[in-house]
Amino acid sequence: MITNTHRFCIAPMMKKTDRHFRFLARQFTKKSMLYTEMIHSNAILKGNVEKLLSYDDCEHPVGLQLGGSEPKSLAEAAIIGQEYGYDEINLNVGCPSKKVKSGNFGVFLMKNVKLLSECVNEVKKNIDIPFSIKCRIGVDDYEGEEYLKNFIETISDYDINTFVIHARKAISGLDTKRNRSIPPLNYDLVFKIKDYFPDLNIVINGGIEEIPEVKKLLNNVDGVMLGRKIYSDPAFLLGIDKEIYQDNTNLEFSVGMQNYMSYILNLKDKKDVNRAITHLVQIIRKLSHTKDVRRKLLENVRNGSVGLDEIFDGFKEDLSQRAHLQTH
Q: What is the Cα–Cα distance from 280 to 148, expressed in whole angstroms?
A: 39
Q: 28 φ, ψ to 5°?
A: -110, -10
Q: What is the Cα–Cα distance from 232 to 227, expressed in whole angstroms?
A: 9
Residues in the chain: 328
Contact criterion met (CB below 8 Å) for 25 and 235: no
Contact criterion met (CB below 8 Å) for 245 and 251: no
* Annotated catalytic residue 95: yes
Residue from 219, 216, 187 nearest 204 by CA: 187
Q: 260 φ, ψ to 5°?
A: -70, -40
| DSSP element (H, E) containing 42 | helix 41-46
- 39-40 vs 62-67, strand pairing mode: parallel
Residue 290 CB neighbour total at 10 angstroms: 16
Catalytic residue among 9, 95, 119, 135: 95
Output the CA torsion 150→106→231→4 (10° steps). Answer: 40
- Return the active site residues: 95
